[in-house]
Amino acid sequence: MPETMLQPFTFEADDRVFACQIEGGRTKLAQLWWWFTVSGESHRFAPFQPEVGETLESVRFRVLSYYRELVARRALTLDQRESWELRRKNLAALKSVRNR
């Protein structure tokens, strides 16, 4: 656990508002995590634990890196689904041409 914990804060980036805060679990033994919410998202995220010596800027950088990578993975997943759907349609079209 960091000696001096940062207070909750918000920042704007990528046309979204990020709200960050450190939270522990429901038990005394639970570890602390950085949680954040993003405007336009229905989920909260807890991607990493607080570190000694971190600053608002270092947390902001970590949160943005995590979120941007998440958005990129989501886009990749959608692209793969679309390409598989296109392949399926192309195969169906090819079979219908061959059966004529």
Reported as a single tens digit per residue, the pLDDT across 37-68 is 999 999 999 999 999 999 999 999 999 999 99
In a domain, 2, yes or no: no
Kindly state the tokens that stand for 92: 């169906």
Query: Residue 29: its pLDDT value, please?
Result: 79
Domain assignment present for residue 3? The answer is no
Residue 27 and residue 41 in contact, taking contact as beta carbons nearer than 8 Å: no
In a domain, 4, yes or no: no
DSSP-assigned letters across all residues of 5-70: PPPPEEEEETTEEEEEEEE--SSTTPPPEEEEEETT-S-EEEEE---TT--HHHHHHHHHHHHHHH
Comparing 68 with 91, the larger pLDDT belongs to: 68
Q: Which domain holds residue 20?
A: 9-98
Q: For the chain, what is the domain count?
A: 1
Domain annotation covers residue 92:
yes
- Check whether 98 has a pLDDT greater than 60: no
Mean pLDDT in the chain? 83
Number of C-alpha atoms within 13 angstroms, CB side, residue 51?
10
**pLDDT for residue 34:** 96
Q: How far apart are CA 92 and CA 45, in angstroms?
A: 41
pLDDT digits (tens, 9 = 90+) for 66-90: 999 999 988 876 556 666 666 666 6
pLDDT at 1 over 50: no
Distance (Å, rounded) from C-alpha 44 to C-alpha 66?
A: 13
Q: Token digits for 68?
A: 């941007």
Domain assignment present for residue 23? The answer is: yes
